[in-house]
C-alpha cells in the first residue's frame, strides 16, 4: 500500500509498508525512470522523490508511481565487500544485555549474517545495511554521542552501519574497522553502494599475519585530493581576510544521493547566477560566498568582478592608498594591487563575488561547492590564499548593471516564509500545527549553512511519540527535534533524518531563507499543497 505525502512544490514522500517494498519501488524507478524525476532518496519505508515541475505535475507523477509493482523482491548485487572489525565498541556489553546474550554471541551473530546495502544517507558513504540476524533490533542511544570516530561499526533498529567519518551519532557502537569507507580519490568515493552485499569479519579470528597487516592499515587515511592547478603568469585574487566564512559555491552537485551526498550549492542561487551574468560567465561557474562581510581581496593583474546578494558596502583601495565606494550588481574593474573590501551587510547575510573567467578550482564530484556538513569540496578560504583566474572564454560579454533586490531581510524585519505542510504534520498536535503558523520564531546564533536553528516562546509538541525511521529530507525541511524548537534545513542539510518534518519552506522562498540574518524573526505561512 503506497501513501503519498506532500513535501514541497517539487517533492513528495512515498511511504510503503516495509523495506522490501521500498527497495522494489526504488529498483522499478531506477530501471524504468519517469521523465522529470531528478533525485531519489530511499530510506527504511519511504522514498523522497524530487522532480522538475515543468516536466511533470504531481497528479501525473502519483498516477505513474502508483502503477508500479512493489511485490517483487529486489535482487542483491553481485559485489561482496568484506569488512574486518575489532569488536571492542563502547556499547558492545550494553547491546548484549539488551538482547539477553553474551558479547561473544553478539559478535557471532553480527559476523554470521550477510548484509545488503539498502540505502545511503546521514553522511557521505554512510550505508544502511539490512539483513542481519533476526534478533538484532536495537534502539538508538537515548543521548547521542557528540563524536563517533571514523570506522565505528554500529547497530540501530534492524540496521547495521559503519561511520565513514567522525561525526555525532546515536547508534550503538560495537566495534571499529580500519577499512576506509569514503575516499574522494576513488572513482566512486563510497565503498558501499546500494545493492552491494557486506560480510563483517572478526579480526581476532584472522591469522596473525593478516591481523598485523590490518593493524598497519588502521592509521591510513583517505587520499588527499590534489589542489587546483596554479596558472603561472595569469591574473589572480588574493585573500587578505576571509571574514567570518568564505567558501567556493556553485549550483551544487545534485544526483549524488546514491553515495549519501546532498546537492549543497549556493544559499542564494539567484544572487550567484546574477554575479556570473554580470561578468560574462556561465551561470554554473563557482563564485565566492561570504557571510556577514569582512572579506578583503587583492587583485594580482587586471580583473573584473561583480558582487551580489546581501546589501553590503564595497570599498576599493588602490595600491597607492586611495579609497572609493563601489556599487553592487554591476561589473567592477580592478587593477594590479587594488583591494576590494566587503563590509557588514545592512540587509541580507550572504554576498557573492564572481570574477570574469572564473576561478581555477578543482571540482569534487562534479561541483566546486563546499558542503560544510559532509566535508565535500574545497576547504574554506584563509588569509594568504591566492586564487588563479581561468582564461576568458571567447565571446563572453560583460553584463549591464542590474537593480539590486529591495526585499532582503534585516534583523528588524519579521520575515514571512511560505510553507507546504507535511510530510509529518500529523505527528504533531493540532495546537502545535497552529502554533507553527501563529508564533514568531527567532533565528539563533547556532544557525549556519546546515540550517536555521529557531527559538519560539512555546515549543512544538508531538502527538505521535514513536521513533521515526530515517527518511529523506529536502532543502527547506522544518525538522522538529525532541526540544520542540524547529530547525529549518538549508543547503548543507543531511540527506536523511530521524526527526519528523512538520513542513517545508516553499521552493520559491529558499533563496530568501538563505539571506536571513541571526536574531531576525521568522513567521511561517502555510500554503495549499500542490494539486
Domain spans, the chain? 3-66, 80-217, 236-388, 414-527
Q: Which of 70-84, 159-173, 319-333, 346-360 has the lowest mean pLDDT?
A: 70-84
Strands 386-388 and 332-334: unpaired
The span from the CA of 95 to the CA of 106, in Å, is 8
Q: What is the per-residue pLDDT for 170? A: 87
Res. 225: pLDDT tops 50: no
Residues 31, 33, 38: CA angle, nearest 5 degrees: 125
> If we measure between CA atoms, which residue out of 70, 76, 75 comes closest to residue 24?
70
Res. 153: pLDDT tops 70: yes
- The third-level CATH classification (topology) of the domain covering 3-66 is Gyrase A; domain 2 (3.30.1360)
Phi, psi of 106 (to 5 degrees): -55, -45
Give the model confidence (pLDDT) of 355-399 as tens digits: 999 999 999 999 999 999 888 999 999 999 999 999 876 667 888
Res. 222: pLDDT tops 90: no
DSSP annotation of 9: T
Give the pLDDT mean for 289-300.
97
Q: How far is CA 226 from CA 62, 427, 428, in A?
A: 44, 47, 48
The span from the CA of 24 to the CA of 249, in Å, is 36
Q: Tell me whether domains 80-217 and 414-527 share a fold.
A: yes
Please name the residue that has the C-alpha cell 569488512: 83
Sheet holding 287-291, edge to edge: 245-249, 287-291, 347-355, 303-311, 332-334
Percent of the chain as helix, strand, coil, to the nearest 5: 15, 35, 50
Maximum distance among all Cα pairs of the chain, rounded to whole angstroms: 77
Burial of 363 (0-12, 13-18, 19+ CB in 10 A): middle
Contact predicate 67/4, CB 8 Å:
no
Res. 288: pLDDT tops 70: yes
- Report the chain's terminal Cα–Cα distance, integer Å: 21
Q: What is the per-residue pLDDT for 142? A: 78
Q: What is the per-residue pLDDT for 530? A: 40
On the question of a cis peptide bond just before residue 423, with omega within 30 degrees of 0, the verdict is: yes
The span from the CA of 426 to the CA of 242, in Å, is 44
More confident residue, 2 or 77: 2
Res. 428: pLDDT tops 90: yes
Give the pLDDT mean for 43-53.
94
Give the pLDDT mean for 491-501.
91
Res. 219: pLDDT tops 80: no
| 35: enclosing H helix or E strand | none
Residues 513, 518, 522: CA angle, nearest 5 degrees: 50
Res. 233: pLDDT tops 70: no
The span from the CA of 389 to the CA of 234, in Å, is 7
136-167: burial string, b at 16+ Cβ within 10 Å, e else: bebebbeeebeebebbbbbbbbbbbbbbbbeb
More confident residue, 123 or 11: 11
Reduced to 3 states (helix: H, G, I; strand: E, B; else coil), residue 83 is strand
More confident residue, 285 or 394: 285
Please name the residue that has the C-alpha cell 512538520: 502
More confident residue, 23 or 441: 441
More confident residue, 226 or 413: 413
Q: What is the per-residue pLDDT for 194? A: 84
Q: In the structure, what pLDDT confidence band is assigned to residue 200 with cuts at 50, 70 and 90?
A: very high
**If one looks up domain 414-527 in CATH, what number appears?**
2.40.100.10
Confirm or reject CATH 3.30.70.20 for domain 80-217, answering yes or no. Answer: no
Give the pLDDT mean for 246-263.
92
Give the pLDDT mean for 49-78.
88
Q: In the structure, what pLDDT confidence band is assigned to residue 208 with cuts at 50, 70 and 90?
A: confident
Reduced to 3 states (helix: H, G, I; strand: E, B; else coil), residue 458 is coil
Most confident of 70-84, 125-139, 215-229, 419-433: 419-433
Angle of helix 92-99 versus helix 103-111 axis, rounded to 10:
90
The span from the CA of 503 to the CA of 454, in Å, is 14
Give the model confidence (pLDDT) of 82-99 as tens digits: 999 999 999 999 999 999
Q: What is the per-residue pLDDT for 531? A: 42
Per-residue cell: 108: 557471532
Query: Please, how many CA atoms are within 13 Å of residue 383, restricted to the half-sphere of its CB?
Result: 6
Give the pLDDT mean for 135-162.
91
Q: What is the per-residue pLDDT for 227? A: 47
Q: In the structure, what pLDDT confidence band is assigned to residue 187 with cuts at 50, 70 and 90?
A: confident
Beta strand spans in 230-346 (E): 236-242, 245-249, 287-291, 295-300, 303-311, 314-317, 323-326, 332-334, 339-342
> If we measure between CA atoms, which residue out of 134, 142, 137 comes closest to residue 98?
137
The chain-wide mean pLDDT, for the chain, equals 92
Strands 197-202 and 323-326: unpaired
Which residues share a beta bridge with 503? 421, 478
Strands 501-505 and 386-388: unpaired
Give the pLDDT mean for 314-327.
96
Res. 351: pLDDT tops 80: yes
Phi, psi of 179 (to 5 degrees): -70, 130
Reduced to 3 states (helix: H, G, I; strand: E, B; else coil), residue 93 is helix
Amino acid at each position: 500500500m503506497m501513501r503519498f505525502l506532500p513535501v514541497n512544490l517539487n517533492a513528495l514522500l512515498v511511504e510503503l509498508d516495509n523495506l522490501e517494498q521500498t527497495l522494489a519501488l526504488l529498483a522499478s524507478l531506477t530501471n524504468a525512470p519517469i521523465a522529470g524525476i531528478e533525485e531519489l532518496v530511499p530510506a527504511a519505508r519511504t522514498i523522497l522523490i524530487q522532480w522538475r515541475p515543468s516536466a511533470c505535475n504531481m497528479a501525473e507523477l502519483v498516477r505513474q508511481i502508483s502503477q508500479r509493482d512493489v511485490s517483487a523482491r529486489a535482487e542483491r548485487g553481485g559485489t561482496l565487500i568484506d569488512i574486518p572489525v575489532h569488536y571492542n565498541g563502547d556499547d558492545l556489553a550494553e547491546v548484549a544485555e539488551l538482547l539477553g546474550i553474551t558479547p561473544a554471541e553478539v559478535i557471532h551473530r553480527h559476523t554470521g549474517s550477510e548484509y545488503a546495502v539498502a540505502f545511503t544517507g546521514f553522511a557521505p558513504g554512510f550505508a544502511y545495511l539490512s539483513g542481519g540476524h533476526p534478533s538484532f533490533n536495537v534502539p538508538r542511544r537515548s543521548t547521542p554521542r557528540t563524536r563517533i570516530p571514523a570506522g565505528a561499526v554500529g547497530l540501530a533498529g534492524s540496521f547495521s552501519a559503519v561511520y565513514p567519518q567522525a561525526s555525532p551519532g546515536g547508534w550503538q557502537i560495537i566495534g571499529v574497522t580500519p577499512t576506509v569507507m569514503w575516499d574522494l580519490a576513488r572513482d566512486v568515493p563510497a565503498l558501499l553502494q546500494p545493492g552491494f552485499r557486506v560480510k563483517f569479519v572478526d579480526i581476532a579470528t584472522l591469522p596473525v599475519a593478516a591481523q598485523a597487516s590490518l593493524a598497519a592499515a588502521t592509521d591510513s587515511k583517505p587520499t588527499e585530493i590534489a589542489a587546483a592547478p596554479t596558472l603561472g603568469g595569469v591574473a589572480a585574487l588574493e585573500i587578505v581576510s576571509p571574514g567570518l566564512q568564505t567558501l567556493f559555491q556553485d549550483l551544487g552537485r545534485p544526483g549524488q544521493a546514491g553515495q549519501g551526498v546532498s546537492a549543497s550549492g549556493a544559499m542564494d542561487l539567484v544572487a550567484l547566477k546574477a554575479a556570473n551574468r554580470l561578468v560574462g560567465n556561465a551561470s554554473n561557474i563557482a563564485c565566492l560566498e561570504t557571510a556577514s562581510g569582512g572579506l578583503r581581496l587583492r587583485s594580482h593583474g587586471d580583473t573584473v568582478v561583480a558582487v551580489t546578494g546581501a546589501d553590503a558596502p564595497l570599498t576599493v583601495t588602490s595600491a597607492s592608498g586611495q579609497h572609493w565606494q563601489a556599487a553592487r550588481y554591476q561589473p567592477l574593474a580592478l587593477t594590479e594591487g587594488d583591494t576590494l573590501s566587503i563590509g557588514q551587510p545592512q540587509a541580507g547575510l550572504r554576498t557573492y563575488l564572481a570574477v570574469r573567467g572564473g576561478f581555477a578550482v578543482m571540482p569534487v564530484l562534479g561541483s566546486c561547492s563546499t558542503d560544510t556538513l559532509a566535508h565535500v569540496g574545497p576547504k574554506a578560504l584563509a588569509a594568504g590564499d591566492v586564487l588563479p583566474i581561468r582564461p576568458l572564454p571567447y565571446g563572453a560579454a560583460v553584463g549591464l548593471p542590474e537593480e539590486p533586490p529591495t526585499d532582503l531581510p534585516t534583523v528588524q524585519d519579521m520575515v514571512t516564509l511560505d510553507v507546504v505542510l507535511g510530510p509529518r504534520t500529523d505527528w504533531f498536535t493540532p495546537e502545535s500545527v497552529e502554533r507553527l503558523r501563529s508564533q514568531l520564531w527567532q533565528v539563533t546564533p547556532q544557525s549556519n549553512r546546515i540550517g536555521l536553528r529557531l527559538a519560539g516562546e512555546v515549543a512544538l509538541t508531538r502527538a505521535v511519540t514513536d521513533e521515526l525511521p530515517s527518511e529523506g529530507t529536502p532543502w527547506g525541511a522544518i525538522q522538529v527535534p525532541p526540544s520542540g524548537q524547529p530547525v529549518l534545513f538549508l543547503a548543507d542539510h543531511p540527506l536523511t533524518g530521524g526527526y519528523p518534518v512538520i513542513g517545508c519552506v516553499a521552493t520559491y522562498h529558499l533563496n530568501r531563507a538563505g539571506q536571513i540574518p541571526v536574531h531576525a524573526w521568522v513567521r511561517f505561512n502555510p500554503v495549499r499543497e500542490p494539486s
